[in-house]
Structure formats: structure tokens, C-alpha cells
């Protein structure tokens, strides 16, 4: 059914899959000296993302860059953590911490191997400027950034997944989405893409390991990008 041998394009989810947002945001919150459990605050910030994105997708907010969404969530979060009066400059610096997230340690070497055989692109709800800054910060060897910004729709809208095949003018079966999230992969699969699940057990912090059990429907299940390169013969 889903022979990965036909795949020519690897499309990567970014937050959690490529970039270790939890470590980066936890460090930034701690660096600002916020009187909170920084690891917990980072998780709460990220947890605010799905609900606010649902508001955008429902048309309640127009197409919005992720910086602005991160700021909306932060402004909502601060009173809940009893720091309602945090200054403008600190809020701005915290939002910009999302631009400087480190990649997981296996990412650069893994992508470099994969690039010799596949076209590599992002497929993220982050806007292009944010993805470009992460690429620059981490030295990520992408061939192309694709983003909700290009399609003016967010994952898991089918148009975003079909959009990758359309941009590269290939059948959907020649595209594989690589992600650490089964819901993203499931939405891609419905659109005809191949799927590779990557375990990121510490996506939410080493103190909050997540379930990384396989789902049989995925084309591949790998520990990290090194194993992905091994499995794909790179």
C-alpha cells in the first residue's frame, strides 16, 4: 500500500518535531526571572496554541502570524500565573524566544544525510519569517520553507497537505510528512501523503514524558532523524 520507495519529498512539521520548543521556552522564561515554574509555564503557553488556532480556523480571527498568536496566548496566560503586569519589553522578548529554539541534537546531521536523496521542506503553521529565523539559528539545511502562510490556511486543513504536492507538481504519494504528532500525520494520510512518526518523548520536557507508541497506519515509525535516514537508505 504505502511503499516509501516512491517518496521524493520529505515535509517536516517543525515545533516539537524539529525544534525543541520546551527547552527553549523554559530557558527564556527562567532567564526573564518570572516567578513561575518555567517548565510548567512553557507547557501552558504551548497548550494555548490549539484553542487559539481553532478560533483562527473558525474565522473568528483572520489569517494571523504565529508571533501574534503567541502574544495573544501569553497575554492571556500571565494573569493566570499571577503576573498580570509584565512589561511590554519582556513580553516582546518572550515571544521572540520562539525564533531561537534549538533543533533536537539529531536534526542537522539527519537532514544533511536525507538531503542527498530527498527534497526537504518544512510544513508548519509557523509563518515564514519565524521558520526562516529558526533555520538560520539552527543551521537547518532546508530546500524550501512551506507554511500556513504560503497557503493562507492552517494544518490540519486538507489544502495544506495537498498544497505540498501541488507546489512540487507531484502525486501526493510522493510526499511524506514527518512529524511527532499522530493527529497531524492522520490528517496528511487522508490526503494521500505517506507518514513518518518521530518519537520525541521529551517534547513537553524531561519531567513530562509523552506516550510515543506506534500507530499502525503510519508508513514509518522512527526514534529520530538518524534512524529515519537509516531506514530510507541515506
Contact footprint for a copy of itself (CB under 8 A): 65, 67, 115, 119-121, 127-129, 131-133, 135-136, 139, 141-146, 149-150, 167-169
Cis peptide preceding 23, ω within 30 of 0: no
CB of 148 to a copy of itself, least distance (A): 13
CA distances from 35 to 39, 40, 80, 104 (A): 12, 12, 12, 27
Q: Which is nearer to a copy of itself, 167 or 212 (CB)?
A: 167
Contact, 98 vs 65, CB < 8 A? no
CB of 151 to a copy of itself, least distance (A): 11
Q: Which is nearer to a copy of itself, 80 or 166 (CB)?
A: 166
Q: Which is nearer to a copy of itself, 57 or 117 (CB)?
A: 117
**How large is the angle between the packed helices 21-31 and 38-47, nearest 10 degrees?**
120
CB of 117 to a copy of itself, least distance (A): 10
Q: Which is nearer to a copy of itself, 36 or 228 (CB)?
A: 228
- In the beta sheet, which residues pair with residue 178? 12, 196
CB of 139 to a copy of itself, least distance (A): 8
Q: Which is nearer to a copy of itself, 137 or 210 (CB)?
A: 137
DSSP state of 157: S
Q: Which is nearer to a copy of itself, 78 or 178 (CB)?
A: 178
CB of 108 to a copy of itself, least distance (A): 12
State the chain's maximal CA–CA distance in angstroms.
56
CA distances from 182 to 74, 116, 196 (A): 26, 27, 9
Cell triple for residue 201? 518523548
Length of the chain equals 234
CB of 68 to a copy of itself, least distance (A): 10
Buried b (16+ CB within 10 A) or exposed e, 127-148: bbebbbbbbeebebebeebbbb
Amino acid at each position: 500500500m504505502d511503499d516509501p520507495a516512491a517518496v521524493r519529498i520529505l515535509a517536516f512539521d517543525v515545533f516539537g518535531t524539529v525544534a525543541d520548543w520546551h527547552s527553549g521556552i523554559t530557558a527564556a522564561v527562567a532567564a526573564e526571572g518570572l516567578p513561575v515554574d518555567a517548565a510548567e509555564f512553557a507547557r501552558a503557553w504551548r497548550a494555548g496554541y490549539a484553542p487559539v488556532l481553532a478560533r483562527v480556523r473558525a474565522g473568528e480571527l483572520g489569517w494571523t502570524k504565529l508571533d501574534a498568536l503567541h502574544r495573544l496566548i501569553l497575554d492571556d496566560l500571565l494573569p493566570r500565573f499571577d503576573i498580570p503586569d509584565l512589561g511590554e519589553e519582556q513580553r516582546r522578548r518572550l515571544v521572540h524566544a520562539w525564533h531561537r529554539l534549538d533543533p533536537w541534537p539529531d536534526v542537522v546531521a539527519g537532514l544533511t544525510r536525507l538531503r542527498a536523496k530527498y527534497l526537504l521542506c518544512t510544513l508548519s503553521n509557523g509563518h515564514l519569517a519565524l521558520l526562516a529565523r529558526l533555520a538560520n539559528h539552527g543551521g537547518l539545511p532546508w530546500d524550501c520553507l512551506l507554511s500556513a502562510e504560503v497557503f493562507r490556511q492552517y494544518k490540519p486543513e486538507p489544502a495544506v497537505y495537498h498544497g505540498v504536492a501541488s507546489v512540487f507538481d507531484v502525486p501526493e504519494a510522493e510526499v511524506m510528512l514527518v512529524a511527532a504528532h499522530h493527529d497531524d500525520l492522520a490528517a496528511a494520510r487522508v490526503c494521500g501523503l505517506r507518514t513518518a512518526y518521530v518519537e520525541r518523548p521529551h517534547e513537553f520536557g524531561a519531567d513530562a514524558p509523552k506516550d510515543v507508541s506506534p500507530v499502525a497506519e503510519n508508513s514509518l515509525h522512527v526514534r529520530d532523524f538518524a534512524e529515519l535516514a537509516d531506514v530510507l537508505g541515506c
